Amino acid sequence: MTAPVLRNSVLPHSAGEESAAGEESATGENTAVENSGEGRNPLIARGVITAKAHGVICGLEAVEQVLKHLDPELRTVETRADGCVVKPGEEIFVATGLATSLLAGERTALNICSHLSGIATATANLVQIAGGVKIYDTRKTLPGIRRFQKYAVTVGGGNNHRHDLADFPMFKENHRAILQKSRPQLAGNPLEEIRWIKSELAREGYSGTISIEVEDEASLRACLEEGIEVILVDNISPSTLAKWIDRARLDQIPVDGSHLEASGGIDGDTLAEHASSGVGRISVGAITHSSKVLDLSMSVELLSEDSGAGDD
């Protein structure tokens, strides 16, 4: 499996732009290694990345980009691919090339791969717990690497929520509070508020997905009645939400669980209960902002001096 989202993303796109591949400059230890081969062929080495824990691998395309940026003649062999489940001691990536380049790129390559693998692993664990309920990420990502992190979520079997604000409008708690303050006639009347939102978007020519955050039963019922595509039920206990859904159905209000999304501090300990509440999707910000990295290591071993970068 290749990862188009990672290809060239770790390289600079313009003069003066810093990149992941170029953030490590020459150091004394690498200079010493380089000088040790003075007057002879360049020192060629093999770099091997090994998993030190169980997990789902992600980010090998970025690893390759980092190392080949430092040594274009470097030969890389993926022993595993993104999405593969690995166990401790399993080799996941092998590269042969200039010893100095492998040493210089080691930390950056490991930082990227261990971080993305941690996200993929955490996502896979949540997907397993959730059963048929879909797991979504959020925009709670690190600036500059959102597309990396969201790619890792898909590798782990999860789904991407909005990539940015332009994907579709989402009216969250703050938006609704400002709207109700600026238009007092909508305050305390969720149904009229939702209808106003829909009409304003239609007036502007928008006809796509609308997402609205709700924290009370009346707002949930209004969104269900108006056919809102993504109803984000935030910080509501699973038992309370289940009661809201049951009452809506008793009142003949159409309920499609695939449009209901639970959110708000959900983790592996509480996920199963939320998944049984009647929602079809659950968003978990922690998978991108708090996932533990997957422990990886890279060994660099010198090959014979007359070996070429293409020799294995």
Pick the catalytic residue from 52, 80, 139, 172. 172
> CA end-to-end span of the chain, whole Å?
23
Residue 229, judged by CB atoms within 10 A of its CB (0-12, 13-18, 19+), counts as: middle
Within 13 Å and on the Cβ side, how many CA atoms surround 173? 7
Pick the catalytic residue from 234, 267, 273, 295. 234
Cα distances from 139 to residues 40, 69, 99, 184, in angstroms, run: 52, 29, 39, 30
Cα distances from 27 to residues 31, 179, 246, in angstroms, run: 6, 55, 65
> Are the CB atoms for 44 and 106 separated by under 8 Å?
no
Pick the catalytic residue from 71, 82, 193, 213. 213
Structural tokens at position 101: 């380049």
Catalytic residue at 249?
A: no
Catalytic residue at 292?
A: no
Pick the catalytic residue from 80, 139, 140, 147. 140
Identify the residue whose tokens are 């400059």.
25
Catalytic residue at 198?
A: no
Catalytic residue at 150?
A: no
Strand partners, 230: 211
Pick the catalytic residue from 7, 87, 107, 292. 107
Structural tokens at position 107: 């930390």
Catalytic positions: 107, 140, 172, 213, 234
